[in-house]
Amino acid sequence: MRTYVPSPDEIPHGWWVADAAGIPLGRLASVVAAILRGKNKPQFTPFLDAGDFVVVVNADKVVLTGRKLDQKIYRRHSGYPGGLKEIPARKMLAERPERAVELAIKGMLPKNRLGRKMFTKLKVYSGAEHPHQAQQPKTLAVAELAGAR
């Protein structure tokens, strides 16, 4: 018997909305990354984009546990000598909480073309409002999924 491999046209892509209020950042990121990859579907195939679209709201209310607010540092480099920029997590969450959530989720996706394509299906907003009501997203119970891990 041959192994069944779904074609990209056979895989449905739904929409989910996840509320990040009071959820630890890493637990939120692992649940959302699994949905973006499509690991919650029976048609999951590692080399196909089987994932769904995910809208994360209330990114400004995400929680960092322990002493990460003071110890975690986000780094980026411009490519020029002396071009290292370091931003503490406390400042990043105060100024751009969407970026902190995006970076956590992006780090849990594959590091290739497929991972970059999956990342485009992530939408993060700092408030409770989002412009994707027309897609009729289903609510993702992150608290239950993150607690079960």
For 100, the domain range is 14-63+94-148
Query: So what's the pLDDT on residue 104?
Result: 97
How many folded domains does the chain comprise? Answer: 1
Please, which residues have CB within 8 angstroms of residue 58's CB and are 6 or more apart in sequence?
19, 20, 21, 125, 126, 127, 128
Reported as a single tens digit per residue, the pLDDT across 41-92 is: 999 999 999 999 999 999 999 999 999 999 999 999 999 999 999 999 999 9
> Is 141 part of any domain?
yes
Q: Residue 106 domain-assigned?
A: yes
Q: How confident is the model at residue 149 (pLDDT cuts 50, 70, 90)?
A: very low
Q: 143: pLDDT confidence band, cut at 50, 70 and 90?
A: confident
Mean pLDDT, to the nearest integer, of 15-31? 96
- Any domain includes 74: no
pTM of this structure: 0.92
Residue 112 sits in a domain whose CATH number is 3.90.1180.10
- Domain membership of residue 78 (yes or no) is no
The answer to whether residue 2 is domain-embedded is no
